[in-house]
Structure 1
Amino acid sequence: MAQSEYGNDILTLVDEDGQEHEFEVVDTLEMGEERYMALVASYDDPQETLEDDGELVILKVLEDEDGEEYLEAIQEEEEFDQVAAIFMERLEDDFDFNEEDE
């Protein structure tokens, strides 16, 4: 798990509309030469946390020409399904997944 001594890492991601969203890194996975991150929305307000649907966001970690890492949605459905199944198995004790999430 991507965890510091103070808790899970928090990432700020910018969507296509330029809005910033904070996510908590709940797990990372290396498969072959590929690396993936499982994220959930992070809120400062405990009430917002309770109201959130807790959707697990899975992104692929890529590198640009300068060696800088960035996150991207997984484009291939088969690759996404395989990675999602691994994360869901690893995180089933921490999260309550609904059937529709699978």
Structure 2
Amino acid sequence: MNREDFEVFVLTDEDGQEHHFVILAEIDDGMKKYWICEEIMVDEDGNIQDFGEIYPFAVREDENGGIFVDSIESEEEFEKVSKAWNELLEKDEELQSMLFLNEHDHEHHEDEEEE
């Protein structure tokens, strides 16, 4: 599976800037659901041009089925989700290799820009 195959969603920050994300994984601790997402940079046509940082989001659903994502504010909650993400990465070789390839591609792309 390639990251281009993942579902993309858009968040608008407080300055009105749009940020595009792909969902890499879903973590459910029995009380709350979390998405581990990677920011992506897209062109005018919506094609992925580059990959950015990885962020965890708390996910909630309203009574009408609408999905909302929230930043994780608590350090304790962030640590819990980070630990679960690291455990998932250790078990999922396909996800590891996909993320490693992206890091390598990104480093290679930066080298080309410096020339």
Shift of 1:48: 5.0
Shift of 1:84: 1.0
For structure 1, the 5+ residue unaligned runs are: 98-102
1:12-91 aligned at under 5 Å gives the runs: 12-44=10-42, 49=50, 54-64=52-62, 66-91=64-89
The one-character-per-residue Cα deviations of 1:2-43 (angstroms, maximum 9, x if unpaired) are: x8xx71110111111111111111111111121000111113
State which drifts further: 84-93 or 21-30: 84-93
Cα deviations across residues 45-85 of structure 1 (Å, max 9, x unaligned)?
69952xx5x42100000234544220001122111101111
Query: What SS class does the counterpart of residue 26 from structure 2 fall into?
Result: strand
Look at both structures and tell me which one has the larger radius of gyration over its CA atoms.
2
Q: Which runs of 5+ in 2 are unaligned?
A: 91-95, 104-115
* Separation in 1, partners of 2:99, 2:71: 21
Give TM-score, length-normalised by structure 1: 0.71
Higher helix share: 2
Q: CA deviation at 1:88?
A: 2.4
1:86 Cα shift? 1.1
Given candidates 90, 93, 99, the residue that maps to 1:95 is 99
Tell me how large the CA RMSD over aligned residues is: 2.8
Structure 2 distance, partners of 1:71, 1:95, is 23
Hey, what does 1:100 align to over in structure 2? Answer: none
How many residues align? The count is 90
Question: Secondary structure, in 3 states, of the residue corresponding to 1:55?
Answer: strand
